Amino acid sequence: MMTHVSRFTMLLLALAVSFDLSHAASPGLADRVVEQKLANGLTVLMVERHQTPVVSLNMTFRVGGVNEQVGQTGLAHLYEHMAFKGTRTVGTKDYEKERPILEELFRVGTELEQRQREFARKNVGKSASSEERTAIEGLQKRFTELQEKAGQFVAGNEMALLYQRHGGVGLNAATGKDMTRYTISLPANRLPLWAALEADRMAHPVLREFYKERGVVMEERRLRNDDSANGLLFETFTSAAFRAHQYGIPTIGWESDILSLTPADTEAFFKAHYGPDNATIAIVGDINPKEVMALIEQTFGKIPAAPPQPSMVTVEPPQRGERRVEVEFDAEPSLAIGFHKPALGHPDDYVFDVIDAVLTDGLTSRLYANLVREKRIAASVNSDANYPGVRSPNLFVLNATPLAPHTTAEIEAAIYAELDRLKTEPVSARELEKVLNNLDADLVRALRSNGGLASQLALYQTVAEDWRYALKARDKIAAVTTADIQRVAVEYFTKSNRTVATLVKKAGEKNVAAAPKHEVGR
């Protein structure tokens, strides 16, 4: 009887028989992108580049933090972790024996946690009955036994090792508010390996080592959010800026939600959102599109579409006054300022890209030159024109740290002065030309590598529902005028539209984050 490895190897060999890479001409990018859509809804974008025998792949799902419900935050990020645990054929030594153990483990684990929560709720300030304690201890013992049994069947990190043995580099994944992405680059003749692995992962994921990985996510949250000055600042800032929309919820999830997520919750979320109809695959490199599509049809084409899901309907209400929050932490002070702005595709969104570059792109940008180089009141200053996502109305954010002995109040006042300047003094033609040229060069650089092009194609197909947005945005940004910058600055950079968060020393330390005397947009 063949092992799981040999069965999988036979599948790869069968797929490889008809997969032959060829060379083609190189017309303009818009003409070179080959777009195909399978019957199950999977979108495939391909670009031939035959300079080297490699291929970069980016599979992006239109699912992220915005798709989660109250009480189950962090599901998208948790599933990203679980997706690397394997399938029925990868990551296991014997799935037929492993499966019933996992099923019982999930049942016992869910019951144990429900009992523990109920126990804690009922026995606040009371002594628990011996029957309750005995029941929980019995479940805990059984849970530990099942975890040990299940662990004996785990082939650890097998997916990554398979890719590594076949020349794969850059294996990675990322979850955001709007999407989840899986990326890798491979020798072109190893595309059958990728197709078989990823189709298997899309169709038959197994949530092995669930509780262990949930613990890893909790540790990640503590490291990046709870115990990180910047992480805690931005988590608090974002929650203050968004009162209704899911953008206000941390992608990693709230601690109590993460601890209550179950295998059943995670599997249901996967089935609802990670079907082929919600995915875009971008493939760039030494390929023949017709042969690639035959491979994709043979693997991904067999996966049924996920059931339709209701669209997100929560709309963030207009902000009716400045919001200010302080975060106490034993770290040097810092500042975050955010202004609500439109989503991707709105005419003003392109203007914010230009303002972003005017303010903080490069050593000669306005805020860097003024606050860091000349006045030396800031150690750093940055901005982001699309925080924390792009599919829905979002924030234009400025973030700065003072250079001692200067304060966040001084930096805040200096930033507002520069924003006022955008409203009252037209950006010079020379400065605007330089900024537009730099933005255009940045876009060109982003499309230069195989991985960069695959990333951009999958990104815009997912968030804008059209990969051509990357090219359209180039023309829209180039058309931004000084009058557009002034109009947008006047309309959006107002006191009532802003949220301000400051990181201050814990109580008892000197508070250097008082509101500045200089105010704008009254």
Are 34 and 160 in a shared domain? yes
The model's pTM is 0.90
DSSP state letter for 308: P
Strands 279-285 and 180-187: unpaired
Q: Yes or no: say if 150 and 105 are a contact pair by the CB < 8 Å rule.
A: yes
- What CATH number does residue 498 fall under? 3.30.830.10
pLDDT of 127: 64
pLDDT band at 20 (very low <50, low <70, confident <90, very high): very low
Mean pLDDT of 88-110: 98
Residue 26 has pLDDT above 70, yes or no: no
Cα–Cα dist 468/367, whole Å: 32
DSSP string, 120-177: HHHTTTSPPPHHHHHHHHHHHHHHHHHHHHHHTTB-TTHHHHHHHHTT-EEEEEEE-S
Any idea what the Cα angle at residue 112 is, between residues 110 and 118, rounded to 5°? 100
Are 379 and 260 in a shared domain? no
Q: Is the alpha carbon torsion for 162, 164, 165, 167 positive or negative?
A: positive
Mean pLDDT of 274-297: 98
Are 80 and 47 in a shared domain? yes
Cα–Cα dist 255/243, whole Å: 19
pLDDT band at 512 (very low <50, low <70, confident <90, very high): very low
Locus of tokens 């026995």? 123
The last residue of a domain, from among 272, 302, 332: 302
Are 285 and 401 in a shared domain? no
Q: Yes or no: say if 55 and 185 are a contact pair by the CB < 8 Å rule.
A: yes
First CA to last CA distance, the chain: 77
Are 265 and 328 in a shared domain? no
Q: 90: buried, middle or exposed (CB in 10 Å: 19+, 13-18, 0-12)?
A: buried
Any idea what the Cα angle at residue 145 is, between residues 139 and 146, rounded to 5°? 90
pLDDT of 121: 80
User: What separation in angstroms does the CA of 174 have from each of 59, 128, 378?
Assistant: 11, 43, 31
Segments in 261-400 forming alpha helices (H): 263-273, 289-299, 347-360, 366-367
Inside any domain, residue 6: no
The closest alpha carbon to 262, from 137, 82, 88, 61, belongs to 82
Q: How many CB atoms lie within 10 A of CB 508?
A: 7
Q: What torsion do the CA atoms of 12, 14, 18, 20 make, to the nearest 10 degrees?
A: 30
Counting every residue, how long is the chain?
522
Residue 15 has pLDDT above 50, yes or no: no
Are 53 and 198 in a shared domain? yes
Full residue range of the structural domain in which residue 498 is found: 323-504
Inside any domain, residue 439: yes
The count of domains in the chain is 2
Residue 76 has pLDDT above 90, yes or no: yes
Cα–Cα dist 215/154, whole Å: 17
Mean pLDDT of 19-31: 50
Are 363 and 264 in a shared domain? no
Inside any domain, residue 420: yes
Secondary structure class of 60 (helix, strand, coil): strand
Cα–Cα dist 303/16, whole Å: 20
DSSP state letter for 509: B
Are 328 and 402 in a shared domain? yes
Residue 339 has pLDDT above 70, yes or no: yes
DSSP string, 429-447: HHHHHHHHHHHHHHHHHHH
DSSP state letter for 209: T
Q: Is the alpha carbon torsion for 423, 407, 382, 463 positive or negative?
A: negative
Report the percentage of the chain scoring pLDDT > 70.
90
Inside any domain, residue 146: no
Inside any domain, residue 474: yes
Q: What torsion do the CA atoms of 304, 309, 311, 313 make, to the nearest 10 degrees?
A: -160
Residues 6+ apart with CB under 8 A from 81: 213, 216, 217
pLDDT band at 2 (very low <50, low <70, confident <90, very high): very low
Any idea what the Cα angle at residue 201 is, between residues 195 and 204, rounded to 5°? 125
Are 270 and 339 in a shared domain? no
Locus of tokens 């000349």? 374
Are 383 and 471 in a shared domain? yes
Mean pLDDT of 497-504: 98
* H/E element, 472: helix 469-478
Inside any domain, residue 142: no
Average pLDDT taken over every residue of the chain = 91
Q: Yes or no: say if 395 and 240 are a contact pair by the CB < 8 Å rule.
A: no
Inside any domain, residue 202: yes
The structure tokens listed for 125 are 């300030």
pLDDT of 226: 96
Instruction: Find how far residue 381's CA is from the centre of its chain.
Output: 23
Cα–Cα dist 112/142, whole Å: 10
> Tell me: the pLDDT tens digits for 353-380?
999 999 999 999 999 999 999 999 999 9
Considering only the C-alpha atoms of the chain, give the largest distance between any 2 of them, rounded to a whole number of Å. Answer: 79
Are 282 and 418 in a shared domain? no
pLDDT of 124: 63
Are 416 and 344 in a shared domain? yes
Inside any domain, residue 286: yes
pLDDT of 131: 84
